[in-house]
């Protein structure tokens, strides 16, 4: 099945924001699927319980790359507790409504974020 992507999804896919890896991060989180091989890795610098910098690396489809990129934009500069309320639907709305068949990509980005935050608290 081929899904038609909207302009904002394509923009975030073709011009991903915050792509890459942070040197000496305060936290790293990884999320993946078993069935289609998508992997999202997030690295963060955290200062005073706020996400100062966040970057991602993704092996996946157009929607997973756009979702991870959008997630970084939505959480950068915000407090850790504040970003824990972010949902897959927030990312979907930000990107102009991801089709239900691809909403799992938004959830993978959320899972990577939560994994990084959990790892941050474990290391503290």
Contact 68, 112 (CB under 8 A): yes
CATH of domain 7-123: 3.90.1010.10
Per residue in 110-120, is it b (16+ CB within 10 Å) or e — as a string? bbbbbbbbebb
Task: Say what the pTM is.
Answer: 0.92
Q: Domain ranges in the chain?
A: 7-123
In this prediction, what percent of the chain has a pLDDT beyond 70? 96
Q: Cα separation of 60 and 116, whole Å? A: 19
Q: What is the per-residue pLDDT across 10-55, written as a single tens digit (0 to 9) for each?
A: 999 999 999 999 999 999 999 999 888 899 999 999 999 999 999 9
């Amino acid at each position: 099945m081929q899904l038609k992507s909207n302009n904002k999804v394509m923009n975030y896919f073709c011009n991903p924001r915050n792509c890459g890896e942070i040197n000496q991060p305060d936290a790293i989180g990884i999320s993946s699927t078993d069935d289609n091989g998508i992997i999202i890795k997030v690295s963060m610098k955290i200062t005073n319980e706020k996400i100062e910098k966040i970057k991602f690396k993704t092996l996946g489809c157009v929607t997973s790359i756009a979702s991870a990129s959008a997630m970084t934009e939505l959480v950068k500069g915000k407090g850790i507790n504040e970003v824990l309320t972010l949902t897959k639907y927030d990312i979907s709305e930000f990107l102009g409504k991801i089709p239900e068949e691809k909403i799992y990509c938004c959830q993978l980005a959320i899972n990577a974020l939560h994994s990084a935050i959990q790892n941050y608290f474990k290391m503290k």
